[in-house]
Amino acid sequence: MKVLIVDDEPLARERLRRFCEEDLTGYSVVAEASDGASAVTQAQQHAPDVVLLDVRMPGMDGLEAARHLAELDPAPAVIFTTAYDDYALEAFAVHAVGYLLKPVRREKLEEALKAAAKPNRVQLAALRGDDGKTRARSHISARVRGNLMLIKIDDVLYFQADQKYITVRHPAGEVLIEEALKDLEEEFGERFVRIHRNALVALAGIVALERDALGRTVVRMKGIHETLEVSRRHLPGLRATLKQL
C-alpha cells in the first residue's frame, strides 16, 4: 500500500515513515508534504492509497486538504493525525475517519491503516468549526485536463455562473467548477459581493464602477480588461458596501 505522509513537523514525518517502512509490512512511503496544498500536489503525482494527514498546519490545514483530496479519482483513504484531543475526536470516530493522537503509536497506526476509508459527505460534515459551520476554504479546486488545480481564494477576481458551471476568474486565466453560486456566496460572503444574479466579485479586486457604451453600470476589476455588468437590483447594495470599505 502506498502512503503519503503530511505534517509540518519533520520529526513527526520521520516517525511515521519509520513505522511504515521498518516496523510494518506492506506499506511504502511514496512522498512527504509539509502543508495541505503540497499534499494535494503530491497525491496527484504519486497516487497514494492512503494519506496520513496532520490536522493543524500553516497555510492550508488538513481539514481543507481532505476536501480537495476527496475530489481525486480515485481518492485516497485519509487518516488524520493531531496533537489535540478535543471534542472532534468522538465525531471522527463515529464517522469512521481514521484519527490518531500524537505521538502516534505503532499499534494504533497499524489498526488505522487497515481500517482507513475515504471520507464521504457525512464524514466530511464532521470536519466543522466551533460555530457548527464548515470553515471557508483557502483554495478552490478545479479539474483541468485531468489534473486537480488549486487556486488561492486571494487570487480569485470573480465567480460567474453559466448554467451548471461556474467560471472562476483569476489573474492567470479562468477555470470551470461545478458548484452553486449561492453556496460560494455563503462560504465567502465577507470577501465577495453579488453584483448580478449570476456573478460574485472580490471586493479587494474592484477598481471602479463605470458606465459602458450601452449605458450599463459595470465593474472594472484589477489586472483584467473585461468588465462585469451590475444589475439594477444589486447596484444599491454594491454602492453601500463599497462606501463601507
Statement to judge: residues 117 and 153 lie in one domain: no
Look at residue 146 in the predicted model and tell me its pLDDT.
87
Q: How far is CA 61 from CA 43, 116, 186, 208, 231, in A?
A: 15, 20, 21, 35, 37
Angle at 21 between CA 44 and CA 15, to 5 degrees: 90
Block means of pLDDT (10 residues each) for the chain, length 245 residues? 96 97 94 97 96 92 88 88 65 57 93 75 53 75 93 97 95 95 94 97 97 95 95 96 90
Look at residue 124 in the predicted model and tell me its pLDDT.
58
Which of these three, 90, 124, 158, is where a domain ends? 124
With contact defined as beta carbons under 8 Å apart, do 74 and 43 qualify? no
Residue 245 half-sphere exposure, CB side, CA atoms within 13 Å?
17
Statement to judge: residues 85 and 150 lie in one domain: no
Cβ-Cβ contacts under 8 Å for 105 (sequence gap 6 or more): none
In a domain, 90, yes or no: yes
End-to-end CA distance of the chain: 52
In a domain, 134, yes or no: no
Look at residue 95 in the predicted model and tell me its pLDDT.
42
Q: What is the CATH number of the domain that holds 51?
A: 3.40.50.2300
> What is the greatest pairwise CA distance in the chain?
72
Statement to judge: residues 178 and 106 lie in one domain: no
Q: What is the CATH number of the domain that holds 169?
A: 2.40.50.1020
In a domain, 132, yes or no: no
Residue 161 half-sphere exposure, CB side, CA atoms within 13 Å?
16
Domain extent, residue 10, equals: 2-124
R_g of the chain computed on alpha carbons? 21
Statement to judge: residues 56 and 91 lie in one domain: yes
Which of these three, 96, 124, 152, is where a domain ends? 124
pTM: 0.81
Statement to judge: residues 159 and 228 lie in one domain: yes
Look at residue 91 in the predicted model and tell me its pLDDT.
40
Into how many domains does the chain fold? Answer: 2
Statement to judge: residues 120 and 161 lie in one domain: no
Statement to judge: residues 166 and 110 lie in one domain: no
In a domain, 130, yes or no: no
Look at residue 165 in the predicted model and tell me its pLDDT.
95
Statement to judge: residues 115 and 55 lie in one domain: yes
With contact defined as beta carbons under 8 Å apart, do 157 and 169 qualify? yes
Look at residue 87 in the predicted model and tell me its pLDDT.
38
Statement to judge: residues 151 and 217 lie in one domain: yes
In a domain, 164, yes or no: yes
Statement to judge: residues 93 and 161 lie in one domain: no
Statement to judge: residues 112 and 156 lie in one domain: no
Strand-strand pairing, 165-170 and 158-162: antiparallel
From CA 67, how far away is CA 186, in angstroms rounded? 17
In a domain, 57, yes or no: yes
Look at residue 108 in the predicted model and tell me its pLDDT.
93
In a domain, 129, yes or no: no
Statement to judge: residues 108 and 179 lie in one domain: no
Which of these three, 124, 157, 172, is where a domain ends? 124
In a domain, 133, yes or no: no
